[in-house]
Amino acid sequence: MKSGQHDTGSQPLRAPLLENKDYESPSVFSPHKLLDNARRQRQLAEEPVPSVCVLDPDGDIVRHLTRRGMAQRVHSWACYHTELHRFLLDGAPIGVIPCAVGGAFAVLVAEQLFTSGCEILVSITSAGRILPVRRPPYFVLIEKALRDEGTSYHYLPPSTYVEIDPALSAFTGDVVRRASTPIERGAAWTTDAPFRETEAAVAFAEAEGILAVEMEAASLYAFAQARQKPVLCFALVTNQPSETGNDFEKGEGDGSIASLELLRVAAYCWRERGNPGGGNFEGRSR
């Protein structure tokens, strides 16, 4: 059955994802309430997470650090679904959560991290190449994301793209200039169905000038815009659709070495701009 052909019987076609949304109303279910009850049930102390936190969807960063004894699990982290690990980077603590794959999971975790003291969230996800700007692996700073997933539509009204917050432009410029590895800047296609990347969908993304396809950025940027929280998404492009031979190669340490260096630069630039206490986001609506 092709797009536009639906067996709906006598019922009109509906899209529940786009219905019954009141973007100004608070949720009846909050991350604060969830975490409070988790701490009560597990008898956990309430402790803040590091101000800089990272989503590591493939888990490569956490595996690299734990193999070397450089990261420790934070046992006070009360999330029901994830583990938080803590490590030092240039002497400063960083929090990292592995294997939160997909927009819905990433935003579930992001809500809880910012409730718990996170002040900036960085996502470093693996991605497929759309436009062939260079040979993988390489990083893309995602400046906007095509909303081909579901979570973003619960946070923002429908639109084709969602963009990184303009308040981060000077900060991201610093990161790109100081990074030891070249970073492309541009658009990503966020999908929640990676095994439905059809030829037609890929051709559309190419025509849009999209650099990579991944699973989290649109959801995270919609959350960031709605909640007024700083979120920065990078894609590590590792595979080349329709090509044969070795694929999904991430580089040294499954990409963890380059990712940690990128994170080191991002954390340094963030702190250099005085953002640990709020910076450009201080005083904005929560």
Query: Residue 237: helix, strand or coil by DSSP?
Result: strand
User: What is the CA angle 241-245-248, rounded to 5?
Assistant: 60
In percent, the amount of the chain with pLDDT more than 70 equals: 87
- Tell me: the pLDDT tens digits for 188-220? 999 999 999 999 999 999 999 999 999 999 999
Average pLDDT, the chain: 89
Is residue 97 within 8 A of residue 85, CB to CB? The reply is yes
DSSP class of residue 147 equals: E
Q: Alpha-carbon distance 280 to 167, whole Å? A: 7
0.95 exceeded by pTM: no
**Cα end-to-end distance, the chain, whole Å:** 44
Can you tell me the distance from the alpha carbon of 215 to that of 195, in angstroms, rounded to the nearest whole number? 12
Q: Is the confidence at residue 245, as pLDDT, over 90?
A: no
With tokens 């529940």, the residue in question is 16
Q: Does domain 50-271 have CATH number 3.40.50.1580?
A: yes
244 has pLDDT over 90 = no
Residue pair 187/118 in contact (Cβ under 8 Å)? The answer is no
